[in-house]
Structure 1
Amino acid sequence: MAKERTKREVRRSVRQSGWITLDGGFAARPCEVVDLSATGAKLTMADAISLGPKLRLAFSRDARTGRNCEVIWRRGTTVGVKFVS
């Protein structure tokens, strides 16, 4: 029996600048948020390959804002993340 796929959350194209922080908020790196949904986002950045499995995504450089994320997939300079608590 085929496994039913759950419908993905609707993604909005945002093409907005964002900031990725790793390990407690040090060394914020710029990225572009390509699209965004209630459960995750697609990001592009020059050094996407060097990202660890967890990061924080914000729309300002302030590490106290933003959402915790887990990297789900990587393709070249593009990564898909899901929001986690």
Structure 2
Amino acid sequence: MALTKKRDARKLLSQHAWITLEGGFAARHCLVQDISKSGARITLDEDASQLPGVIRMAFSRDARTGQRCQVVWRRGKSAGIKFI
């Protein structure tokens, strides 16, 4: 019997947040479109293809806060992130 992987329930959010790269420099604005307990879909002001594999996302501009995330997909100005 094949196992099906069920996605966590997503909640529409449309909340402003900031992402920082490793080292905590250059906070960039983003919009969290939807979120679940395992990840989120974000929209940036620029092309998401330039994002590195690991970022930190926070709902405040303080780089010391937030959650470490792995970027799992990129399409145009949107990206999918998984909380790690």
Runs of 4+ in 1 over 2 A off after TM superposition: none
**Where does structure 1 lack aligned partners over 5 or more consecutive residues?**
none
RMSD: 1.1
The one-character-per-residue Cα deviations of 1:47-76 (angstroms, maximum 9, x if unpaired) are 212110100000000011110000001111
Which amino acid letter does the alignment assign opposite residue 70 of structure 2? Answer: E
Indicate the SS of the match to 1:23: coil
Shift, 1:46, TM fit? 2.1
Indicate the SS of the match to 1:7: coil
Which amino acid letter does the alignment assign opposite residue 73 of structure 1? Answer: W
TM-score normalised to the size of structure 1?
A: 0.92
Which amino acid letter does the alignment assign opposite residue 77 of structure 2? Answer: T
Shift, 1:6, TM fit? 1.0
Give the equivalent residue in structure 2 for 1:71.
Answer: 71
In 2: Cα distance, 1:61 partner to 1:6 partner: 34
Give the equivalent residue in structure 2 for 1:7.
Answer: 6
* Count of aligned positions: 83
Shift, 1:80, TM fit? 0.2
In 2: Cα distance, 1:79 partner to 1:70 partner: 10
Give the equivalent residue in structure 1 for 2:16.
Answer: 17
**Where does structure 2 lack aligned partners over 5 or more consecutive residues?**
none
Deviates more, 1:31-40 or 1:41-50: 41-50
TM-score normalised to the size of structure 2?
A: 0.93
